[in-house]
Structure 1
Amino acid sequence: MSERDAVERTAIEACLAGGRRLRVAFETGDTTVERFEHDVKSSADRESESAMLDVVTDRFPTHELDAEESGHHGGSADWRWVIDPLDGTNNFESGLPSFAAAVAVERAGTTELGVAYVPVADDLYVARRSDGVRYNGRPLATNEPDEGGSRAAVPEATVMSVVGHDVKLHEERAAVSRVLNEGVEDACKRRLESWSPTVHWGLLARGALDGALCYRPDEEEQLFGELLAGEAGLVIERGEEWYVAGRTPELAGSLADIAAGAVDPGTTADAGAEPSEG
């Protein structure tokens, strides 16, 4: 077994271990919770993270880790694990089944692997650089971008929006976020505000959603999402503080113009970075 295969197997086992802890806690309601103005902390986060870390550190004790609850764990290898033990804590504690345990794994600064397990739906997503996306063990068909004849035409599109935790803490950034929201809602059929991005990245890769617009997204979900989008064949554009993905060039371009216009008023996406594959 190659090292990358071993990392993938371990990442899957870690997400399943964390996700199963989450499912039990969700079904029993046996958690303690702290609610803040802009965040929620649940004991389920810590329990899931503990289970995930046990799996990873047992197999790869020299790998570097960044975990949402316990922070940075140093290592000597060139592998880094970014662990999100409960993506969707607000949903979890509100009784909504949209949450996941997820990891992204980098090697020498390049994201090589992303895994997310959605325990209530029993959905498992695995994205591996240059190898595509698997959903519950089956390869997903790669998106074939086109300019028309698709549900992803801009006025018919359902687009998820993602903002990082720091956005709501700064009025100027919160104001930009409101402009972004209005832009998507004016252009598209529906804007889905994501409180569990790894779940919705999976739906986007499967074709259930049409696009994504991210503003200052958090690393623990975004590394996974960008790898998934690239491996799924979505059309991608990005700026310094924003990232968009769409099932067609038309949709991705429209979202990029909305993002560039809100984040950098007076510019368009054409003035920014060239579209990329992930």
Structure 2
Amino acid sequence: MHPFVNIAVKAARHAGRAIMRYQEKLDTLSIGEKSPLDLVTAADLRAEEIIIETLHTAYPDHDIIAEESGHHERKAEYTWLIDPIDGTFNFSHGFPYFCISIACLHKGKVEHAVIFNPNNDDLFTATRGNGAKKNDQRIRISSRIKLEGALIASGLAASARDKRELFEAVQSSLSESSCILRHSGAAALDLAYTASGQLDGFWEMGLKPWDIAAGALLVKEAGGIVSEFNGGEHYLQSGKILAANPKLIKPLAQKVNRIIV
């Protein structure tokens, strides 16, 4: 395992333990105590603090871009993208589908990825050119070639809620092709499970770079294709992303691109 990945795994596991302690507090919250929103915010901030501290201790000259605290700029060759809790709404409801997402970029290109699901300890790792793993076992993307019967995940990011009608039109079109649709609320984890073949594909719009950087590398290293709806490669900038195997992504892209340009 690459040293950068080792450090990111250490950070993710430590943050994961902290998050689950906050989850226990949410489960036992009673009237008159802190609101669930207060605890969720505290969990997000504490997890991010742990990750930043771990990364800065190991690599003090690296840049860090984090969802909650923004850009810790050092104008370095390496930049870390951090989402301390992807799937915050799920976390706030005690629904066990959220994760920690950490990606390392070298001169703008994603080189290393770690996604950790603290609910079941699923750990996904990847280094560019060295494949992707789940719990230290190599993973491959699904081999399904038709939309019929394909399990496709998606979501409606907060920044894309004004496009709800377009989202629903795409979902309706996919449903007409006999896709099985899932809207689970954690894009990074959806991408990780797409990489491992547990989901057949994924699409979403309105996402931020920290939502998708790690998951996109996992999918690519597992043999999949990641692109914008029109086939472009600037999904980190546009927030529009498709992920599937090389054969399934074509009909998936046609369905999405027919409705959303």
TM-score normalised according to structure 1 size:
0.82
Q: What whole-Å deviation, never above 9, does each CA across 1:216-245 have from its counterpart, x for those lacking one?
A: 322112111211111111244433653322
Number of equivalences: 247
- Choose from 155, 166, 169 the match for 1:162: 155
> What CA distance in whole angstroms lies between the structure 2 residues aligned with 1:194 and 1:144?
19
Paired position in structure 2 for 1:244 = 242
Paired position in structure 2 for 1:24 = 21
Paired position in structure 2 for 1:124 = 123
**Which amino acid letter does the alignment assign opposite residue 55 of structure 1?**
T
Matched, 1:226 2:216: yes
- Choose from 195, 211, 229 the match for 1:205: 195
**Which amino acid letter does the alignment assign opposite residue 245 of structure 1?**
A
Does the CA-based 8 Å contact 2:142-2:200 persist in structure 1? Answer: no
Cα distance change on mapping 1:133 and 1:107 into 2, 3 Å: same
Matched, 1:186 2:176: yes
Paired position in structure 1 for 2:114 = 115
**Which amino acid letter does the alignment assign opposite residue 258 of structure 1?**
K
> What CA distance in whole angstroms lies between the structure 2 residues aligned with 1:247 and 1:262?
21
Q: What whole-Å deviation, never above 9, does each CA across 1:70-92 have from its counterpart, x for those lacking one?
A: 11101132100111000111001
- Choose from 2, 5, 11 the match for 1:14: 11
Structure 1 portions without partners, runs of 5+ = 265-278
> What CA distance in whole angstroms lies between the structure 1 residues aligned with 2:55 and 2:154?
31
**Which amino acid letter does the alignment assign opposite residue 37 of structure 2?**
E
Percent identity (aligned)? 24
Paired position in structure 2 for 1:174 = 164
Cα distance change on mapping 1:60 and 1:236 into 2, 3 Å: closer
> What CA distance in whole angstroms lies between the structure 1 residues aligned with 2:165 and 2:179?
22
Question: How far is the alpha carbon of 1:127 from its aligned partner?
Answer: 1.4
* SS of residue paired to 1:83: strand
Paired position in structure 2 for 1:85 = 84
> What CA distance in whole angstroms lies between the structure 2 residues aligned with 1:166 and 1:144?
29
Paired position in structure 2 for 1:276 = none
Cα distance change on mapping 1:262 and 1:202 into 2, 3 Å: same
Q: What whole-Å deviation, never above 9, does each CA across 1:62-120 have from its counterpart, x for those lacking one?
A: 11111111111011321001110001110011110111111111000100011011111
TM-score normalised according to structure 2 size:
0.87
Paired position in structure 1 for 2:235 = none
Cα distance change on mapping 1:10 and 1:215 into 2, 3 Å: same
Question: How far is the alpha carbon of 1:246 from its aligned partner?
Answer: 2.0
> What CA distance in whole angstroms lies between the structure 2 residues aligned with 1:58 and 1:32?
33
The residue correspondences of 1:263-274 to structure 2 (distance < 5 A) are: 263-264=260-261
* SS of residue paired to 2:9: helix
**Which amino acid letter does the alignment assign opposite residue 234 of structure 1?**
G
Question: How far is the alpha carbon of 1:32 from its aligned partner?
Answer: 4.6
> What CA distance in whole angstroms lies between the structure 2 residues aligned with 1:64 and 1:188?
44
- Choose from 190, 204, 217 the match for 2:207: 217
Structure 2 portions without partners, runs of 5+ = 233-237
Does the CA-based 8 Å contact 1:10-1:56 persist in structure 2? Answer: yes
Cα distance change on mapping 1:236 and 1:58 into 2, 3 Å: closer
> What CA distance in whole angstroms lies between the structure 1 residues aligned with 2:79 and 2:71?
10
Paired position in structure 2 for 1:135 = 134
- Choose from 196, 201, 213 the match for 2:186: 196
* SS of residue paired to 2:101: strand
The residue correspondences of 1:87-102 to structure 2 (distance < 5 A) are: 87-102=86-101
Cα distance change on mapping 1:51 and 1:158 into 2, 3 Å: same
